[in-house]
Amino acid sequence: MQTYDGASVMPGYISGVQTLVRGDYPFAYFFHCAAHRLNLVLCQSASSIPLVRVSFANVAAFSTFASNSPRRKDLLHSNGIDIPKPGETRWYYCSHTISVLCDKYKTLLDLLERTIENPQGWDDASI
């Protein structure tokens, strides 16, 4: 048995991944992954709550901010802060990013304050 996410290339009966796999393994049955389905429902439900939607948007924006500059990324990394790349429907990404931000909040705040106090060499987006 195999499970697949809901991408249109997965279940296609003519040229989908399940069809290609069943060409070699005729008893391989296609099932839409219940965990993936649950993840999609939770993401959509959470995004209907304005405060939650804004919170997740801020987490994603910070992750993008941190990864868009090699200098910012190096500064964070050298201080033990590694923020994962964004992923829209991945609860693991969101929970891991939030954990990093909470665990390293004081260090992160200090780094950002130092950047603002000593802006030499930093671009406007960093400041």
- Distances, alpha carbon 121 to alpha carbons 79, 115, 116, 124, in Å: 19, 10, 11, 10
pLDDT at 1: 61
What gap in Å lies between CA 116 and CA 127, rounded to an integer? 6
Q: What percent of the chain has pLDDT over 70?
A: 83
What gap in Å lies between CA 102 and CA 114, rounded to an integer? 19
pLDDT at 5: 65
pLDDT at 13: 66
pLDDT (mean) for 82-102: 75
Which pLDDT band, with edges at 50, 70 and 90, does 83 fall under? Answer: confident
Strand pairing category for 30-32 and 2-4: parallel
Whether the per-residue pLDDT at 106 is higher than 90: the answer is yes
Whether the per-residue pLDDT at 88 is higher than 80: the answer is no
Q: Are 112 and 95 in contact (CB under 8 A)?
A: no
Q: Where are the domains of the chain?
A: 50-127
Chain length of the chain: 127
pLDDT at 109: 92
> Is the pTM for the entire model greater than 0.85?
no
What gap in Å lies between CA 60 and CA 91, rounded to an integer? 12
pLDDT at 25: 86
Each residue of 28-59: pLDDT tens digit? 777 777 777 777 788 788 888 999 889 888 88
